[in-house]
Amino acid sequence: MACIFCQIIERTIPADVVHEDDDLIVFKDINPKGAIHVLLVPKTHIATVNDLEIHHIPVMGHMFEVVQQLAATWDIVEQGYRLTVNVGRGGGQEVDHIHMHMVSGWMRRP
């Protein structure tokens, strides 16, 4: 299995998982861009936004439900946070398994 996020879902490589349910896994980014930086990843392997189909709408909607839950848990609703979905190499996507970045608390550059 080549996909690194599928391997995290299958628990064949480790990750710092902060949420998991039947359809979605959320884990900390290994190279965080903020004090909070997690990746929300559907358990179904969908390569990019370009590959989304109508039957994927529920899981993509569920992603936003989980974002709201995590924002409340981490008390960043008022402060705010950034959600990013990179698409394709030109869009900065490195891992070809659709995912949303959730980032808050930007770190100062040295």
Task: Cite the active site residues.
Answer: 99
Torsion angle of C-alpha atoms 9, 67, 47, 45, degrees rounded to 10: 30
Does residue 86 touch ligand AMP according to CB under 6 A?
A: yes
Query: Considering only residues 29, 44, 48, 74, which one is a binding residue for ligand AMP as defined by CB under 6 A?
Result: 29
Binding mask 39-68 for ligand AMP (x = CB under 6 A): x-----------------------------
Does residue 95 touch ligand AMP according to CB under 6 A?
A: yes
Which DSSP state fits 44? S
Binding-residue total with ligand AMP (CB under 6 A): 12
Q: Choose the stretch contacting ligand AMP; rule: CB under 6 A; options: 41-49, 58-66, 71-79, 91-99.
A: 91-99
The count of other CB atoms within 10 Å of the CB of residue 57 is 10
The count of other CB atoms within 10 Å of the CB of residue 71 is 18
Integer angstrom CA distances of residue 14 from 4, 97, 107: 10, 17, 25
Interacting residues with ligand AMP (CB under 6 A) = 4, 15, 27, 29-31, 39, 86, 92-95
